[in-house]
Amino acid sequence: MSEEPAPWASSVARARIAEVAAALDGLAPERVTETVRDALRDHARRFDAEGIVLYAGTNVMSPAARSVSEPLVSSRPSMGWPGEKYQSGLDALDTLEVLTPKLIAGLVGARFAEVRSHSATMANLAVYTALTAPGDTIAVLPERAGGHTSHHAVGAPGVRGLRVVDLPYDVDAYDVDLDALPGFLAAERPRLVVIGASLLLFPHRVAEIAAAVADAGAVLLYDASHMAGLVAAGRFQRPLAEGAQVLTFSTYKSFGGPPGGVIATDDPALAERLSAAVFPGLTANYDAGRLAPLAVTAAEIMADGGAYADACVAAARALAAALQDEGFTVAGADRGFTDSHHVAVDAAALGGGSAAMGRLAEAGVYLSAIGLPWQAPGEPDRGLRLGTQEVVRRGFTPDDLKVTARLMADVLLRGADPATVREAAAGLRQEIAAR
């Protein structure tokens, strides 16, 4: 084939890209569809039939949400507000454009929701665009405490030219250091403070953080990307009611909808600026096809009265307890492990998060490595992050999660052959699907 596609990537990435490229070398155009179909079939077998997915930042859309997903709507451009679209003939979509933000705003307790961002990263960039100017400072959670790339200088804040400083963090409280916060804010003078982590076992003390942030004249953004499904169900915490001025989140993680990002707020003046940053700022035509499954997912969350969110939290506590019983070091043991659907395992004794993640993947158990607040500066991610939002949708019971914990221990603590465990994992999936 032609040039190496990404000579700037890491040696690991380049080796994998070269391996795939070699297998595709000389692929005739008439064989592309078949090749793509094969890749999709392998992907589906792994995640939808055989593997145990404990990756915390994913989900499966419900059958009803999937039934209204329509690629031909996604690929048709739609730009502007209902009644004044750049294109004519789109007025049937106006129902979706009015209904979806209304449902989402209602769920998260906001007056306004902007649903046109294609991802939470873009939603966060829109917030930075609306509420900061290049050269301003924002304060975010440290990466080892679950601060997301879209909060850090390598991500969206760097695009906006922001100075990014880490909030003081209290390892024992799993939260921002409330004692150090006022002095920190006075010294650093951030425009915006961002909380809401990619690993969140316990709620942030939003009211206390919000009071200090308000005293410092800054705005508080709560990024509920991972927690959105719980927050929307009225579980875990209600960031806007507790004092955050802006809420952003991904719609495809615990929320369980299509990919996308949301920005919500109660403040009309902020809402206008945030919305303008999304359109016409960062989006022209957007994927209106997302709105149908998003609306259906929101309605399902309303209708189930919190049952799914409660099941996710109960499953996380059961999984955490089972992992501890197997001999893993599970975070938050003295506080009941977790108040969310997340569980964290300290994998330092297992060779670190990445190595443990790789061995589990060979065994058909999928999750991710993550930094833990107590790791040393420069130490590679020492944790494993697990989430129960997908396995609950797949029908796993707390007993099934005990089996899952045992399979994980077989691989990581008892040296079992990953291929054997992989068969057992597929067997468990089959058994659950057949119930």
Ligand X SMILES: *Cc1c(COP(=O)(O)O)cnc(C)c1O
Is residue 122 exposed (0-12), middle (13-18) or buried (19+ Cβ within 10 Å)?
Answer: buried
Nearer to ligand X, 245 or 250 (CB): 250
| Terminal Cα-to-Cα distance of the chain (whole angstroms) | 48
Among positions 51, 53, 57, 184, the unique one binding ligand X when judged by CB under 6 A: 57
Decide: is 58 part of the binding site for ligand X (CB under 6 A). no
Least separation in angstroms between CB 227 and ligand X: 9
User: In angstroms, what is the minimal distance from the CB of 49 to ligand X?
Assistant: 25
Q: In the complex with ligand X, which residue's Cβ is closer, 100 or 409?
A: 100
CB of 27 to ligand X, least distance (A): 30
Closest to 298 (Cα-Cα) out of 98, 99, 125: 99
Paired tokens of 69: 């997903």
Please report how close the Cβ of residue 196 comes to ligand X at its closest, in angstroms.
Answer: 6
Q: Which of residues 232-291 bind ligand X (CB under 6 A)?
A: 250, 261
Shortest Cβ distance from residue 250 to ligand X (Å)? 4
Site for ligand X in 94-113 (CB under 6 A): none
Q: Single out the segment in contact with ligand X by CB under 6 A; choices: 80-88, 117-125, 204-212, 365-373.
A: 117-125
- Residue 119 makes contact with ligand X by CB under 6 A: yes
Q: Pick between residue 200 and residue 411 the one whose CB is nearest to ligand X.
A: 200
Q: Which of residues 129-148 bind ligand X (CB under 6 A)?
A: 148
- Taking CB under 6 A as the criterion, the residue among 52, 68, 120, 320 binding ligand X is 120
Place of tokens 């410092």: 216
Q: How many residues bind ligand X (CB under 6 A)?
A: 13
Interface mask toward ligand X for 201-240; x: CB under 6 A: ----------------------x-xx--------------
The CA angle 154-372-349, to the nearest 5 degrees, is 125
> Using CB under 6 A as the criterion, which residues of the chain lie in contact with ligand X when the complex forms?
57, 119-121, 148, 150, 196, 198, 223, 225-226, 250, 261
